[in-house]
A and B are shown apart, each in its own frame.
Chain A
Amino acid sequence: MEKKTPFYDQHVAAGGKMVPFAGFLMPVQYVGIIEEHRHVRSKVGLFDVSHMGEIEVWGPEALKFVSYVTVNDPAALEVDQVQYSAMCYPDGGIVDDLLVYRFPDHYFLVVNASNLDKDFAWLQEQAKKFNVTLKNTSDDVAQLALQGPQAEPLLAKICDLKLSDMKFYWFKIGKVDGVEMIVSRTGYTGEDGFELYFDKKYAGQIWEALFKAGQEFDLKPSGLGARDSLRLEMKYCLYGNDIDKTTSPLEAGLGWITKLKKEGDFIAKDVLLKQKAEGVKRKLVGFEVEGNAFPRQHYKVFKDGSQVGEVVSGVFSPSVAKGIGTAYVQSEFAKTGTDIQVEIRGKMVPAKVAETPFWKHSSIKK
Chain B
Amino acid sequence: MNFPKDLKYSATHEWARIEGGIATIGITDFAQGELGDIVFVEMPAIGSKVEMAKPFGTVEAVKAVSDLNAPLSGEVAEINGELEGTPDLVNKDAYGKGWMVKVKLSNPGESAKLMDAEAYEKMEKHGH
Contacts and interface: CB of A to CB of B under 8 A. Distances in A.
Interface of A: 17, 28-29, 32-35, 225, 228-229, 292-294, 296, 315-316, 318, 345
Given A32-B91, A292-B42, A345-B58, A225 B65 contact: no
A137 B108 CA distance: 62
B83 to A, nearest CB: 11
B63 interface: yes
Given A316-B62, A318-B62, A28 B36 contact: yes
10 contacts: A29-B36, A34-B37, A34-B39, A292-B42, A292-B60, A294-B39, A316-B37, A316-B40, A316-B63, A345-B58
Nearest to B36: A33
A35 to B, nearest CB: 8
Given A32-B91, A345-B58, A292 B63 contact: no
Interface residues of B, number: 14
Nearest to B55: A345
Contact of A229 (B33, B40, B62, B65): B62
A4 B30 CA distance: 24
Contact of A294 (B33, B65, B91): B65
A34 B61 CA distance: 10
Given A32-B37, A33-B36, A315 B58 contact: no
Interface of B: 33, 36-37, 39-40, 42, 58, 60-65, 91
Given A32-B91, A33-B62, A292-B42, 18 more contacts: A17-B33, A34-B39, A34-B62, A35-B37, A293-B60, A294-B39, A294-B40, A294-B60, A294-B65, A296-B64, A296-B65, A315-B62, A316-B37, A316-B39, A316-B40, A316-B63, A345-B58, A345-B65
A325 to B, nearest CB: 12
